[in-house]
Structure 1
Amino acid sequence: LIDNERKALRSTDYSTTATPRFDKYLNYKAFKEALEQYGKKYDHVTYTSIGRSYEGRDLIGVHVKAKENLPIVFLECGIHAREWIAHTACLYMIDQLATQNETNETIRNLLYKYEWRIYPVVNPDGYEFTHTTDRFWRKTRSKSIYSKICRGADANRNFDVGGFCTIKSSPNPCTDTYCGDNAFSEPEARAIRDALQAVQKRTEFYFSVHSFGQLWMFPYGYSRERVPEYNQLLNISLNAKEAIRRVHGSNYTVGPISTTLYGVSGTSVDWAYEYAGVTKSFVLELRPAFSQTTGNLGFVLPVEDILPTVQETWEGIKRAVA
């Protein structure tokens, strides 16, 4: 599977004149070029960066809107570097919103209803490392004051929510779930926090896109207590689940993070819900289902599954915000 990925990456160079075909995975440079091109080509798309990574890469994104002062749908993708389909799904959403607004009435309506702020590579150092060195790298690439040899923190354990470094988070810099030297030690987590805080009163939906397991979840991660909006969030999730199923038959499991996947503290989605006040906050785990894979191979989604996965994900998002 990894060899097939490598061949696909080598077989076609990304061309700045081409639209992504979603038949291969792009590296960070190609993502950046793609987003810059959308910004240049389409008046309703603005290319942006919400900050810099530890190694100095831009945390790239786009803002897509038909008019000013709309409620915001905020998506961050790829906080875990090895989850390549998450980055790609968010690029597909950008592509649809950019290219289909004149021909697709549903998308045109979405652009008059919401401003879309989509950041497809929020851990660019880790993502680049998965392309050059270690396909299964999860964390950032920062240096810890507590280790001379182990690098990186799990940016999705680095948010100050639910008790820092308490649940399914490790204080050991050499583990995959290292919570970081302190809360918001990672520039990537700070950038997401700051970008959301700047527009928190306008943000209606927050999505954190991951893989894998085919799950559509909502807060809390750090507690088994039900949030006050439980029924509303469950209903949105069930509607999204059905929209996803109708595309290619994929079956998603829905529910709170803590009871659907596992208890966890320090996540972006719990922080968005609790501190930014975005009650409609969700975390998605895309293909494959747990039953269809073993171990880390779930992160290596075959290239032929890219298009159906991103298509169904987009249908779920559209239904959720409808």
Structure 2
Amino acid sequence: MVLVVLHENDVIRWSPGEETCWRRAAPGRLAPPAAPSTQGSSGGRSRSPSRTARRRRCSCCSTRCCSPGDQVIAFNPGWQPLMGLPPRLGASVTVLPYGPGMSVDAAAVTAAAGENLRLIALNSPCSPTGLRVEEEELRALVALVAERDAYLLVDEEYAIDLSRSPAVGQGRVISVSGLSRTCGLPGLRTGWVYGAPQVAEACAERTFLTSIAKSVLCEALACSALDRYEDYVREYHRLCAPGLGLVERWAACHPDAVRLVPPQGTPFAWIRLRTGGSSLALCRRALEAGLLPAAGETMGSTQASGSASTATSTR
């Protein structure tokens, strides 16, 4: 395994067996959560994941993995960067709807995959649907990218336990995560990529070209957050639990108007409107009342739906 960290003007590589680690003796080194086990193999050969601390992780992975003529598969509803960046690199994007219950349908992905498949991009737990990709579907997608010599990019920004990441022991799976969501520190713009060494190192190189380095202060704050990661996780759950209960009670009071898709570990929930109206119009009305839900139309949804936060303060 090779660990790649972009820090100041140098790239630090760490391998198992060395006494040095992320923070080493110098101040400001970014300390990630404990690295998952790297046992496993792909294609009969041991494949060892790497990490690289960086920002704009999904976009960077797209530039590393995509070339003119490649196919990228993404999902709708979703976010624009994964759908808008590949065409700028000469790649095509096949956007698939989620299956029944907002689930990822591996059979539909396989049917849509062409000979030029290069990247399948998804997130789990998913923003904006709030759902995890089922283990069976993940295994099928891992097998598909291994067969096609492609990559599976999994955004795990809302995952708490990365030791269960599908990237562990899989050379064709790339995991990206960071401190923005569960720790509530988006201003640090700090995260990491976990994947094959050539992918991680290429991401570090592209980060250097776009931003050179993070400030020492941001990396020191990231170190502090990771040292207290369990405290952040407890606070995350403390804020989400009562908010989810409030949204569930609200949905139960209006069964003819809305249908709640119960979230699986996210501070937001996907809600379908049953009134026939526009979710964008509803969100504008909610904004006037001091609420800020996200309209499904802004994320490519063709159905009246949207995402509402379940995080709230009880203090």
Q: Please report the TM-score for the alignment, with normalisation by the length of structure 2.
A: 0.29
Which has the greater radius of gyration? 2
Higher strand proportion (structure 1 or 2): 2
TM-score where L is the length of structure 1: 0.28
